[in-house]
Amino acid sequence: MKMKAAVIHSADDPYQFEEVELAEPKNDEVLVRITASGLCHTDEFGRTLGMMPIVLGHEGAGIVEKVGENVKDFQPGDHVAFSYAFCGHCKNCVQGQPQYCEKFNAINFGGIGADGQSKLSQNGQPVAMFFGQSSFAQYATISEKSIVKIDEDVDLAMVAPFGCGVQTGAGAVLNTLRPNVDETLAIFGCGAVGFSAIMAAKVAGCRQIIAVGGNEHSLELAKELGATDVVNRKKLPEGQTIAQAVAEISNGGVDYAIDTSGNGNMIENAILSTSLNGKIVLLAPSGEVANFNFGKDVLMAYRTIIGCCEGDSNPKIFIPRLVQLYKEGRFPVDKIITKYPFEQLEQAREDSNAGKVIKAVVTMEKSFS
């Protein structure tokens, strides 16, 4: 079928709406009319992969229009959220850890779907996919493994970001660390992933939740979402490090730290902010941590550094949990979301990259009508 999609032909291109061809769903796939899609920094990474042309977007949500003949769990009219693609057959997938699928990079960042082919084409030539969905489009043909049914009384624009950024931050707390109610946690970086971790830490009942950032407005929002304390890395006393500020607030260091920034200096301070036997979760591809003494500051401090993908989340289990928390008012993700019409996708991208909004979501309900 023909549809409109935001196609880019080079890394620096603004999003341009063009007509592309979308393949019909195979036996285990569904056709979804997309109603919302979150923007994520991973979409910017997708521009660097060298696969052009490409349709980005990987936090989609919408309404099922058609299902393949082997699909049993979905039917037309179902509201669904998208998440990452996975093969379903490798050791990790079979063991219930699809986020560590052996083909994860190939089928999420390789321009193809889980079946090894792109569902998109233009003038008879393939157009690269992203995360098996390419949600910056009017429709998606997607594997049933990668979608999750959502209650119809929930705004899909609020749920769309759950498929990547939100579950990454929240899952790092609720799935990876699983803190006890009397434990302490520092979160480095106040973006969508960091705020999701803060909300999850409040759900978990952490005694102390310290947000580290460089923007006063964001730090105020962090407190509104559940942070008990904040550290403005740009306003530290002369000679004091971020780690020392966190240790001072937490009386000797936190039990856990999560870095969402991928910045080498922030990662180093996240590690050093924890107490003996502390655990540190890294969520973003990182820059180099220069001149760091891992023997002294990790091994002999008995710390554990954990790399985490997608918040250690199995979306079919974790996304419904987050949706229920949202419905109960315990996970107020609406406070970090700004909506844009689909036609303003490029503006949403610019505002996101400039830090003017925390989590941009484009909505397609009235687009191209």
In sequence order, what DSSP letters do the residues of 99-125 get, joined into one string?
GG-TTHHHHHHSSS-TTSS-SEEETTE
**Per-residue confidence (pLDDT) for residue 291, from 0 to 100:** 80
Q: One-letter amino acid identity for 252?
A: G
**Per-residue confidence (pLDDT) for residue 365, from 0 to 100:** 77
Burial class (CB in 10 A: 0-12, 13-18, 19+), 363: buried
CA–CA gap between residue 315 and residue 321 (Å, rounded): 9
Backbone angles phi, psi at 41, to 5 degrees: -60, -25
Backbone angles phi, psi at 152, to 5 degrees: -70, -15
Q: What residues does 6 pair with on adjacent strands?
A: 17
Residues of the chain with pLDDT under 50: none
CA 166 to chain centre: 5
156-215, pLDDT tens digit by residue?
999 999 999 999 999 999 999 999 999 999 999 999 999 999 999 999 999 999 999 999
> Residue 277: how many CA atoms within 13 Å on its side-chain side?
1
Q: pTM for the full model?
A: 0.95
**Per-residue confidence (pLDDT) for residue 296, from 0 to 100:** 93
CA–CA gap between residue 301 and residue 191 (Å, rounded): 29
Tokens coding 280: 């540190």
Closest CA to 68 of 150, 5, 120, 145: 145
In sequence order, what DSSP letters do the residues of 260-305 get, joined into one string?
-S--HHHHHHHHHTEEEEEEEEE-S-----TT--HIIIIITTT-EE
Q: Return the number of other C-beta atoms located less than 10 Å from residue 44's C-beta.
A: 14
Domains of the chain are 2-163+332-363 (3.90.180.10), 168-309 (3.40.50.720)
Q: Indicate the Cα dihedral angle 344, 345, 346, 350, nearest 10°.
A: 100
CA–CA gap between residue 1 and residue 80 (Å, rounded): 21
Asked whether 197 and 222 are in contact (CB, 8 A), the reply is no
Which residues, in sequence order, are CB contacts of 9 under 8 Å at separation 6+? 52, 53
Which residues, in sequence order, are CB contacts of 340 under 8 Å at separation 6+? 347, 348, 360, 361, 362, 363
Q: For residue 31, give the H/E element and its range.
A: strand 29-38
**Per-residue confidence (pLDDT) for residue 116, from 0 to 100:** 84
End-to-end CA distance of the chain: 17
Fill in the DSSP letter of residue 73: S
**Per-residue confidence (pLDDT) for residue 292, from 0 to 100:** 86
Q: For residue 255, give the H/E element and its range.
A: strand 254-259
Coil/strand/helix, residue 317: helix
Fill in the DSSP letter of residue 61: E
18-59, pLDDT tens digit by residue?
999 999 999 999 999 999 999 999 999 999 999 999 999 999
**Per-residue confidence (pLDDT) for residue 115, from 0 to 100:** 83
Fill in the DSSP letter of residue 175: I
Fill in the DSSP letter of residue 349: H
